[in-house]
Structure 1
């Protein structure tokens, strides 16, 4: 990749946007913080995340392993260009955080049967209190959750 992209994440290629989302989901506020805490060169990682420098398959794999997600999560989460549903976003967050629905149910206090219906799209709009409990149990802010929903 020789083309430079602006700092606006909406203009970044899907892989780079997903790399940035995975880093944020893992609790790192900045690219530099992630790089420094995990032994990566901060300038190189930041350039990779911003789409300003090409990365090898091995580098992408190392980032995904460190972030606890798969290469598939980084490469192809939402290619339709549409916003993910609440349930689809939970599925993505669970995969990226390495959690099960059962663990999320226990951590959030939301019954597993209810959570399953939300994840499977049977309940499209959960109650505010349950949605908030789920997002909190995922250790995410509402903004991070909404960011994950966007294409």
Structure 2
């Protein structure tokens, strides 16, 4: 194995130094970048001299993400602008119309890609637009090829829930996915859910959705996700009329 420092690429030297300086394991970087841990090791010891541009870009983005503590670009921007404005998370949440926890979740990385309407409302309240590359990078990191990006939203802020067709997931206070649904209009369907006794905190605290316009595909993905959740989909199994989901 080629491990002489003279044969290690500039990128390999940078990768090893920044990883060790920030106490990141090769495995953690590999998982975040979507490559094997062997790929990281080979680059660092010089066995791989010229990783592809895509591989380098994925590794650089993974390093940046891990160093930031797993917080999205928008989350970093939000915390900085909120503190500049002198608003607490609670004060900002009241002005935006979402829960304080939703603000905390964006800032600490639990929410990686807030819905477009939530981002726009936050920008409006703060009076500052987030840099375009910030939101684009977050959307790209949460995108599914051929479908779009996974967006997070506050299921109790009805004005900010997307009114688009898609598959959505509801999470409880422990971030456990407890319900999967589909609808031609996610907002309308969740407003219907809100009348049910189970659509309350701490049973329903957070939500995510992905836009899917094709009816058949939307149905198939929902069915697959419910089967993956098994007994965790407690609301699906006990309390919801599945015949209403497409309304």
Task: State TM-score, norm by structure 1.
Answer: 0.38
Higher relative contact order (CA 8 A, sep 6+): 1
Task: State TM-score, norm by structure 2.
Answer: 0.24
Asked which structure has the greater CA Rg, the reply is: 2
Greater share of strand residues, 1 or 2?
2
Greater share of helix residues, 1 or 2?
1
